[in-house]
Structure 1
Amino acid sequence: MASSNDSIKKTIIVALSLCLVCSIFVAAAAVGLKPIQNTNKDLDRKRNILSAAGMLESGKSVDEIFESVESRVVNLQTGKFATQEELQAAGIKAATFDQKSAAKDPKLSIALKGEQDPAGIKRRSNFSVVYLVKSGDSIDRIILPVHGYGLWSTMYGFMALKNDFNTVIGFGFYDQGETPGLGGEVDNPNWKALWKGKEIYNEQGEAVIHLVKGGVDSSDPKAAYKVDGLSGATLTSRGVTHLVQYWLGQEGFGPFLSQLRSEGVQ
């Protein structure tokens, strides 16, 4: 009987020892790979920004092209570029600012409820990084981060605008979990190409661009504000409309873009 108990104890000890050794290896691998993961994550972010702006070039690395892109932080509460004093007070650096994390921090964000939250994001960060491509001292194009809820997931993307701060250069999502073949068609290059040349604001300065069911009639005088909806994905299409109108509207980048149109870069 004692021999049997010794055998069980030895088995348990060996199993626990094996688990401990494996845990150490896994932890060491996670720590060792983290810098590589962070580098790949940053590279993917840059690639998606450049893709939205139509700036990817064969024969050039992403980092090389991204040298022409300037990151600036916008204070969404004032509709202006954040001052150094504001950034220091909030503990923010443009190069490392994480808008997702900031939106979870009550000190750096506001809660949204009901009609305040058509995009379904629940909280909005008080600050956002925007990406500028300049020609001399003037902005040639601007890339804005946007996100909002679709049918199954929060969709994260970038929208690039011309220097009239109204005309779309490109738009695409880099993170979404919508139904493949339906809402997941937000990743379809053919659908993303439909956004190029579309306009965001009407003559009253309202963000009116939206997706329409059944396709856009080119003879429609308001066709510039309309994009083909996703076939069989009504809720995802509605989510795209809501998130674009929210982020380009008065609660998002609307006041900031209006200032750029009227006063230029300060």
Structure 2
Amino acid sequence: MAGTDHNPWRRFLALPNESRTKTLVMAFLVSGICALMVSGATVLLRPIQTANRAAEEQARIAELVRGIPGMTDLLEQSGGTLSTVVIDLDDGRAAQDVTTETFATVLADTANWTALEPAADIAGLAQRPDYAQIFLLRTGEEISLVLLPLTGQGYGGRIDAILALEGDMNTIAGIAITGHSETPGLGGRIEDPSWQARFPGTLLRDEGGELRFGVARGTASTPYQVDGITGATRTGRGVSNMVQFWLGPDGYGPLLRAINRGEF
């Protein structure tokens, strides 16, 4: 008569495969091993994932820059470094608890949006995010270019754009319309490079600091205007309102003042 096997593992393995105890224990062991493997892989791959996200972000920034007339040449001439910063729009400073990695998640929370008073809502947004992701080009310690995402209402619907400002925070370096619903052949011409090429060199504020930028109804007559598009007055007004809102006190105004004070 064979002796009793006192090894619990061998006794467990000797149980019939139909045993409920054996099935449950094996399932628990397999799930535990898989969890450990996944956790280990996550730890090991985290530096690679972080590097990949950074590379993807830089590629996205580069794509945005290429969409702005003259920006590629400007970047090459300056030789600076383009970086991404999430700012708190209320005080115009870098956000303390929001990063580029968590930015999208933060904006998905309605608590991080501010309702706009009708009198201040010239861009037709109804509400404004509390945070924005901007792009800065530094040449040495100086900011030589800032790229600001904009959004507003045109004639046909929402208009999205990236506005580039020179280091004085008062001269437009370029603009890229990244999305719109305007009428093809009329307001839709805001996406034409020939129209966007009219923006570089346009001033935003006069000597007294008053924001005077606007899209003219026809040919620009002041240093603060760009030529309008024939037959698309309401689209031009939408672009004007969008720029004026975002560069005003409820948009990037606090940021631009902070940059001018040398706080960035």
TM-score (norm 2): 0.71
Partner of 2:95: 82
Task: Give, as a single letter, the amino acid of the residue that structure 2 aligns with 1:193.
Answer: A
- Asked if 2 retains the 8 angstrom alpha-carbon contact of 1:71 and 1:95, the reply is no
Count of residue correspondences: 207
Partner of 1:31: none
Segments ≥4 residues shifted beyond 6 Å: 39-42
Q: Which structure 1 segments of 5+ residues have no match?
A: 1-38, 61-66, 218-222
Q: Determine which of 204, 211, 232 is the counterpart of 1:207.
A: 211
1:48 and 1:214 map into 2 onto residues whose CA distance is 29
Which secondary structure state, in structure 2, belongs to the residue aligned with residue 115 of structure 1?
coil
Question: CA offset at residue 81 of structure 1?
Answer: 2.1
Tell me if the contact between 1:138 and 1:265 (Cα under 8 Å) persists in the aligned partners: no
1:49 equivalent in structure 2 = 65
Q: What is the aligned partner in structure 2 of residue 245 from structure 1?
A: 244
Is residue 2:137 matched to residue 1:133? Answer: yes
Partner Cα separation in structure 2 for residue 188 and residue 227 of structure 1: 14
Aligned mates of 1:93, 1:136 — CA distance in 2: 23
Q: Which amino acid aligns with 2:225?
A: K
CA RMSD, aligned part only? Answer: 2.7
Tell me what 2:27 maps to. Answer: none
Q: Which amino acid aligns with 1:146?
A: L
Report what 1:152 is aligned to: 156
Quick one: structure 1 residues 168 and 180, their matched pair in 2 at CA, closer, same or farther if it must change by over 3 Å?
same
Q: Percent identity?
A: 31
Q: Deviations over 1:9-53 (max 9, x none)?
A: xxxxxxxxxxxxxxxxxxxxxxxxxxxxxx999856641234337
- Give the direction of change, closer, same or farther, for the CA distance of 1:105–1:155 in structure 2 (3 Å limit): same
1:52 is paired with a residue whose SS is coil
| Larger-gyration structure (1/2) | 2
For 1:1-266, list aligned pairs within 5 A: 43=59, 46-52=62-68, 54-56=70-72, 68-83=81-96, 87=97, 92-95=98-101, 97-98=103-104, 102=107, 105-217=109-221, 223-261=222-260, 263-266=261-264
- Quick check: 2:65–2:72 contact (8 Å CA) kept in 1? no
The AA in structure 1 aligned to 2:195 is W
Secondary structure of 1:107's partner? helix
For 1:151 and 1:109, the matched residues in 2 are separated by 24
TM-score (norm. length: structure 1):
0.70
8 Å contact 2:118–2:126 — kept in the other structure?
Answer: no
Alpha-carbon distance in structure 2 between the residues aligned to 1:233 and 1:175 = 17
| Whole-angstrom distance in 2 between the partners of 1:105 and 1:71 | 21
Q: Aligned residue for 2:23?
A: none
